[in-house]
């Protein structure tokens, strides 16, 4: 008796029951276990929620359903009509079942793919003999796929205490969780939007439930822990437990992120290097306000508040020089936010914000002498001297460079162009195309650099901006926002006025499509296309300065004044 109780205490399968309850369930199940080996976890979860005097009937019903599944005999047509692809718990397989189901394959740690027949009262997993009876692997796969995609589900979004949003798909069918195999199609069916190219994190704690979070913005940092906790709790609660692990769905592949220490029974999340880089990039982009995200959508363009914060940050730089990068981001936000109320950038206060943003961006990458920064309404703040100490931040360099081009500040353009590319290559969040693009700009503004060299570098940037070459930033963001200046420069370099005009209009449409009605500062003006429009205008291209998100008085240079420093 002591041995049985001790076993129950340490038996993870029955941990939802007390030792005495676990012993009783094993006793009730023992007569049914003589003709086969069955897992008891799901039955134990049902018993936990049922009065103990009803357990004998519940156990009888459970094993009667298992027996009713039979051992086969359906015709080929009957199998194809009812077969579904199915995810099963890896630890539910015994040596005996593995021998009868050698066709199955492990999808990821903890999950096994199999075929199952959806029968009136139960579900039967196909054996090797069943698969052989169909005698057509493609037909079996197609039927399992088609039937699985017909499984009904309910959908809702779960907003958590932080800013992460989990997508929940659930239903009565035991095949709901198996739809995670085709998470991209499921997401589109549920939301009418495409899953990001980077995929999603997800859990399938029970066969009736999927919870997932698309890899679209920096809220993924919170979603990882939220999903892992949610998945583990739902797995322990059941019924129909499937897996307690966290997974990454990417291009149809599933990768397990959860490591379980079998000795200590502790869980840890260990993303592969590829995913870890993507996650860091998403957080970096989101923190700088570059992504359309819940955080960006909650942003306000309160000019008075942004101005006050910017003034305080600049004033604090004499005490904390390390705050220059944060102050630069704040000034970029302020400059762009001004364009919400002053879309033509006609007002002096708007110009002051753009000029001050350039002063800080230039100081961040090339150093600066002491100078004065204006923030409008006779508000000035001293900017202390800074040594040249460029950070490894490729996108911040582009912001500073675009500002210098827009403000027609050739001195700062030349100094920024001399920032070593090797420093910017150390930015772990920058894809290769971005570094080639920076190299293209630096080459173009280098005196006496052959135009063929510039064209070659541009070609490298274009080639590296497609598909799998982009492995860090969200491809949707790259296509709609970051690549547009590259495409414009291609038309500019070719001196093709007509195609430049069309490409500029398309770039601004992409900007509007990506940002929608977001109040985020970066939604108010298209910084990269504005820089290329300013450059083209200076080369006598016929630039349409009336386009949206293209501040007229900056594009045509009428607002430009001398900037200190």
Confidence label for 11 from pLDDT (cuts 50, 70 and 90):
very low
Residue 84's Cβ-side half-sphere holds a number of Cα atoms within 13 Å equal to: 24
Confidence (pLDDT) at 3: 33
* Mean of the per-residue pLDDT values of the chain: 91
pLDDT digits (tens, 9 = 90+) for 39-57: 677 788 888 888 888 888 8
**Please, how many CA atoms are within 13 Å of residue 401, restricted to the half-sphere of its CB?**
24
pLDDT of residue 1: 28
Q: Are 188 and 202 in contact (CB under 8 A)?
A: no
In what helix (H) or strand (E) does residue 450 lie, and over which residues does it extend? none
User: What pLDDT, on the 0 to 100 scale, is given for residue 537?
Assistant: 97
Which single residue is written with the structure tokens 């403000």? 407
pLDDT for the residue numbered 69: 56
What is the distance between the terminal CA atoms of the chain, rounded to a whole angstrom?
Answer: 86
More confident residue, 204 or 64: 204
Task: Determine the average pLDDT of the residues in 496-518.
Answer: 97
pLDDT of 97:
80
Instruction: Judge whether residue 234 has pLDDT over 80.
Output: yes
Q: Which of 387, 390, 384 lies closest to 417 in space, CA to CA? A: 390
What pLDDT score was predicted for residue 233?
92
Q: 448: which 2 tokens?
A: 């006496």
Mean per-residue pLDDT for 478-505?
97
> Distance from CA of residue 518 to its chain's centroid?
19
Burial-class residue 216 by CB neighbours within 10 Å (0-12, 13-18, 19+): buried
In the chain, the percentage of residues whose pLDDT exceeds 90 is 75
Predicted confidence at residue 57, as pLDDT, reads: 87
Report the sign of the C-alpha dihedral through residues 67, 73, 78, 80, in that order. positive
Q: Which residue has the higher pLDDT, 377 or 562?
A: 562
Of 93, 127, 87, 123, the residue nearest 107 (C-alpha): 87
* Alpha-carbon span 455 to 462, nearest angstrom: 10
CB count in 10 Å sphere of residue 49:
10
- What's CA 500's distance to the chain center, in Å? 32
CA atoms of 402 and 400, how far apart (whole Å): 6
Highest average pLDDT, of 87-96, 141-150, 224-233, 378-387, comes from: 141-150
Whole-angstrom distance, CA of residue 393 vs CA of residue 551 = 26
- Which of 208, 204, 257, 207 shows the shortest CA–CA distance to 230? 204
Lowest mean pLDDT among 22-36, 283-297, 342-356: 22-36
pLDDT at 84 over 50: yes
- Burial of 30: CB neighbours in 10 Å, binned 0-12, 13-18, 19+: exposed
Q: What is residue 36's predicted lDDT score, i.e. its pLDDT?
A: 52
Give, as one character, the DSSP assignment of residue 386: B
Smallest CA-to-CA distance from 362 within 330, 325, 321, 335 is with 325
Smallest Cα–Cα separation from 430: which of 481, 490, 486, 471?
471
Would you state the pLDDT for residue 7? 36
Model pLDDT, residue 113: 97
> Residue 543: which of 510, 485, 504, 491 has the closest Cα?
504
* DSSP-assigned letters across all residues of 388-455: ----S-HHHHHHHHHHHHHTT-HHHHHHHHTS-HHHHTT-TT--HHHHHHHHHHHHHTSTT--HHHHH
Give the pLDDT band (50/70/90) at residue 315. Answer: very high
Predicted confidence (pLDDT) at residue 449 exceeds the cutoff of 70: yes
Cα angle for residues 107, 112, 117 (degrees, 5° grid): 125
- Give per-residue pLDDT as tens, 252-264: 999 999 999 878 8
On the question of pLDDT at 5 being above 70, the answer is: no
| Residue pLDDT, tens place only, 390-408 | 999 999 999 999 999 999 9
Identify the pLDDT of residue 386: 96
* C-alpha 339 chain-centroid distance: 29
Rounded (10°) CA dihedral 300, 304, 307, 313: -80
| Structure-block tokens of residue 126 | 């196909």
Whole-angstrom Cα distance, residue 151 to residue 146?
A: 9
- The two most distant CA atoms of the chain are separated, in Å, by 94
Contact 441, 254 (CB under 8 A): no
- Give the model's pLDDT for residue 30: 84
User: Which class for 455: exposed (0-12), middle (13-18), buried (19 or more C-beta within 10 A)?
Assistant: middle
Q: What is residue 447's three-state secondary structure?
A: coil
Element holding 210 (H helix, E strand): strand 209-214
pLDDT of residue 71: 59
What's the pLDDT at 552?
Answer: 97
How would residue 238 be classed by pLDDT, with cut points 50, 70 and 90? Answer: confident
**Of the given ranges (135-139, 183-187, 412-416), which has the lowest mean pLDDT?**
135-139
pLDDT category of residue 4 using cuts at 50, 70 and 90: very low
So what's the pLDDT on residue 263?
80
Per-residue confidence at 64, pLDDT binned at 50, 70, 90?
confident
């Amino acid at each position: 008796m002591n041995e049985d109780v001790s076993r129950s205490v340490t038996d993870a399968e029955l941990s939802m029951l007390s030792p005495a309850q676990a012993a009783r369930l094993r006793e009730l199940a023992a007569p049914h276990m003589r003709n086969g080996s069955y897992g008891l976890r799901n039955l134990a979860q049902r018993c936990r929620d049922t009065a103990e005097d009803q357990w004998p009937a519940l156990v009888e019903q459970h094993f009667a359903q298992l027996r009713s599944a039979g051992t086969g005999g359906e015709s080929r047509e009957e199998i194809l009509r009812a077969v579904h692809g199915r995810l099963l718990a890896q630890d539910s397989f015994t040596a005996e079942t593995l021998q009868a189901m050698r066709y199955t394959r492990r999808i990821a740690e903890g999950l096994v793919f199999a075929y199952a027949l959806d029968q009136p009262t139960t579900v039967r997993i196909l054996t090797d003999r069943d698969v052989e009876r169909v005698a057509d692997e493609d037909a079996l796969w197609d039927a399992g796929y088609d039937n699985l995609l017909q499984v009904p589900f309910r959908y809702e979004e779960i907003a958590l205490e932080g800013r992460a949003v989990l997508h929940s798909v659930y239903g009565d069918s035991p095949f709901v969780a198996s739809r995670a195999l085709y998470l991209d199609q499921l997401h589109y069916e549920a939301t009418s939007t495409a899953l990001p190219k980077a995929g999603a994190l997800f859990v399938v704690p029970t066969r009736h439930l999927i919870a997932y979070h698309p890899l679209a913005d920096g809220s993924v940092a919170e979603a990882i822990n939220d999903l892992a906790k949610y998945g583990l709790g739902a797995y322990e609660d059941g019924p129909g437990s499937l897996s307690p692990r966290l997974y990454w769905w990417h291009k149809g592949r599933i990768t397990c992120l959860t490591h379980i220490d079998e000795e200590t029974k502790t869980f840890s999340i260990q993303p592969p290097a590829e995913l870890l880089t993507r996650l860091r990039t998403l957080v970096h982009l989101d923190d700088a306000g570059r992504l359309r995200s819940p955080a960006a959508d909650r942003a306000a363009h309160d000019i008075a508040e942004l101005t006050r914060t910017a003034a305080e940050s600049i004033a604090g730089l004499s005490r904390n020089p390390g705050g220059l990068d944060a102050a630069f981001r704040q000034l970029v936000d302020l400059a762009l936010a001004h364009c919400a109320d002053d879309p033509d950038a006609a007002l002096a206060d708007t110009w002051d914000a753009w000029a001050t943003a350039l002063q800080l961006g230039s100081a961040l990458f090339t150093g600066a002498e002491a100078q004065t920064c204006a923030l409008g309404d006779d508000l000035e703040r001293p900017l202390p001297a800074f040594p040249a100490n460029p950070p490894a931040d490729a996108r911040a360099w582009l912001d500073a460079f675009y500002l210098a081009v827009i403000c027609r500040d050739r001195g700062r353009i030349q100094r920024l162009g001399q920032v070593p590319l090797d420093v910017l290559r150390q930015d772990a969040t920058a894809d290769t195309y971005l570094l080639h693009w920076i190299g293209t700009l630096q080459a173009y503004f280098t005196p006496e650099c052959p135009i063929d060299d510039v064209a070659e570098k541009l070609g490298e940037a274009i080639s590296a901006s497609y598909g799998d070459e982009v492995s860090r930033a969200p491809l949707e963001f790259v296509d709609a926002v970051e690549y547009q200046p590259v495409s414009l420069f291609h038309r500019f370099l070719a001196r093709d006025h007509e195609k430049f005009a069309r490409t500029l209009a398309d770039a601004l449409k992409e900007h509007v499509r990506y940002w929608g009605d977001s109040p985020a500062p970066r939604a108010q003006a298209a910084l990269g296309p504005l820089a290329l429009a300013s450059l083209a205008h200076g080369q006598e291209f016929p630039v349409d300065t009336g386009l949206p998100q293209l501040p007229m008085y900056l594009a045509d240079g009428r607002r430009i004044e001398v900037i200190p420093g």
